[in-house]
Amino acid sequence: MKRRFDTVQRRLRAHGKSPGICNPVRLVVVRGNGFVRRTQSAARMNISLSSPLSRYLADMSRPGHEATTSQHLERGAECVQAEDLAALPRLRTAVEAKLAGIADSPRLRERVGLLLRYLEESPIDPTNVCQREAAFAVFYFLKGYDLIPDSLPDVGLLDDALLVETALRRNAHDLHAHWSARGRSWSESF
């Protein structure tokens, strides 16, 4: 694995690219065969997150910021601002690109899609805890500030999946109400 990582870094440098795998500017997915695929990220789309949210995402993997998944979700959601919620619809392309690269986790693809659809269909309300937690889970999935780098085979998306699942479970009542109000069956979706 270390040799493959070094090879990827050399390839990126040879093409004038940053050697970082999980950086906030560009999301780089390393395939099992060493092929590097760049996806569109929030920074590339000229969408910036609020300072509190960006700071929390950057700091959460540093020493001294250890917390349970629920604690990270709560703390991250507290940092989500109205401007972050307003930016979500413009991030659909980036989210879909990252979801398309996930072949071995249809459940994660479905769950992130549910959260994104809920956020797109709901009027922006920065006081709504469900919206803020769903938004934080989507931003965490997308941004690349990972506790476990997404490039690690078999376990790279585990932290993303845990955060998304926690957001769904904690807000199941509100999400169920949202689906019911639109004539959809929650059990079919969840």
Per-residue confidence (pLDDT) for residue 58, from 0 to 100: 85
**Residue range 10-50, pLDDT digits in tens:** 554 554 434 333 333 233 333 343 333 334 444 444 467 89
Per-residue confidence (pLDDT) for residue 130, from 0 to 100: 96
Q: pTM for the complete prediction? A: 0.73
Per-residue confidence (pLDDT) for residue 187, from 0 to 100: 64
Per-residue confidence (pLDDT) for residue 27, from 0 to 100: 35
Per-residue confidence (pLDDT) for residue 89, from 0 to 100: 86
**Residue range 77-125, pLDDT digits in tens:** 999 999 999 998 888 888 998 888 888 888 899 999 999 999 999 999 9
Helical segments of the chain, H only: 2-14, 51-59, 69-79, 82-87, 92-100, 106-121, 129-143, 158-170, 172-181, 186-189
Domain boundary assignment for the chain: 45-189
Residues 6+ positions from 97 with CB-CB distance below 8 Å = 39, 40
Distance CA 100, CA 98 (A): 5
Band of pLDDT at residue 145, cut at 50, 70 and 90: low
Per-residue confidence (pLDDT) for residue 14, from 0 to 100: 54
Band of pLDDT at residue 159, cut at 50, 70 and 90: confident
Distance CA 50, CA 4 (A): 35
Residue 60: which of 74, 44, 76 has the closest Cα?
76
**What average pLDDT is seen over the chain?**
76
Q: What is the mean pLDDT of residues 136-164?
A: 79
Tokens encoding 39: 């996806």
Per-residue confidence (pLDDT) for residue 146, from 0 to 100: 66
Per-residue confidence (pLDDT) for residue 32, from 0 to 100: 41
Distance CA 58, CA 50 (A): 12
Residue 21: which of 34, 33, 90, 42 has the closest Cα?
34
